[in-house]
Chain A
Amino acid sequence: MGKVFSRPEKMGIYRRRVIFEIEALGLNSIGLTAIISVFIGAAITLQMSISLESPFIPQYLIGYATRETMTLEFSSTVVALILAGKVGSNIASEIGTMRITEQIDALEIMGVNSASYLILPKIIATVFFFPFLTLLTIMIGIIGGYTIAWTTGIMSPDDYIEGLLYDFVLWEVIYSLIKIAVFAFIITSISAFYGYYAKGSSLEVGRASTRAVVVSSITILIFNLILTQLLLT
């Protein structure tokens, strides 16, 4: 880790690589997370409307529950688990392939700090960009819920919006953004570690990629508990 965070050879090159990684790891993940968010938001609204079907429970609570679920857990933890699969395996296999095809050795021979050159831009890109993905998934999930409420008539859109605004606490959004930034670091550093130390053949790269996803996911779940305890209680 010390090698990763050591002083870069040329700042300009690293800036270019960060922009490249934002596109490769961040922008290219928008489609997947958006599709999942819209369906999850819609499903949560549907499930809540079925579960809370009672004349004693106000309808706006369905909107409230959708917002809370999307903000507190889905947009950070579940999205992070999805990204651990997509981005984590991508990072581990990319760096692992570079290792076994001697591309990392070639960088080292040039005098480049390969760990810093390959990994640091990815960490900066994901820690910076994943919070935007979280905000986007919250919004899209809520829109998904609104759309299902409006198209199926299970509740009035006005009640849904009232629920969205009910007892809104900004800290919950900030909590979610802090979590995803920590998860971004976990996904990128663990996946890069497994890729960087891959040995042998393409079979080993596949194994490194699988290990990276499994270890990242478990670490995310553990840190989810720790951060919730620290930030919400």
Chain B
Amino acid sequence: MEGIMAIWQRDVIKFFRDRARLVGSFAMPFMFLILFGSGMSGAMSSMMGGSEASGPLADFDFVEFMFPGIIGMTVFTTAIFSALSVVQDKEFGYMREILVSPMSRVSIAIGKVLGGSTVALFQGLMMLIFVPFIGISISFSMILQLIPVMFLVAFALSSIGLLIATSLKTSQGFQMVVQVLIFPMLFLSGALFPLSGMPAWMNFIVKINPLTYSVDMFKKIILQPEQMAPALREAMGLNLSVFNHVITLPEEILVVGLLSVFFVILATIRFSRIEA
């Protein structure tokens, strides 16, 4: 147990010590939200019926729509890239110090996943700094809901990261693989544009993409779709459904939870097999 905490603590200490990384972590979300989001919002609203659009669609605000997706993006990428430290530890030798200690491999793997999840949770929460600038309001109870959901999503993605990291030897290789994996998943998760009117094959990928459900959880908590007009909700692609069943937040928690368990077990098994 103490071993898990030690591994976790090391990742957290290093996260807060690396100022450049802390500041830099705002760059990508900022660009997406402000540059991409603001730039696209005009085009988006004209697609929704032009500036003269009346009724519920006039309320469509692209930046607002993107915000939960950007939180999602931050959490996903931070969590999955946290496993880069495993590859770097292999490259720079520290992994041997860890592996020759009497700690069990399972504790090490769990400690790493928890460390990555915690760091990703912090990064996700830091994104709430953008809230005042994009004109949405977030209540304290929303934040209380967001924390466990973010942690759950981060846990799943950290486990996937660890699974990849155990099979790779170089950081370049790891970054390559993760980027190739994460970008399509991100684009087809509804994080960056509404998931409506897509071709069937794409729709299929969206539905089997775990990030879709993760992003949708953030949207359900932040955007409060049940208070929206049905037409607007539809336009924003918030009626995520599988086999004509509109999926609910508890169901999504269950799906992501099960995936977390699956991947963390798989990653732990793989990690237990590596030699120092």
Is A bound to B? Answer: no
Chain B interface residues toward A at CB < 8 A? none
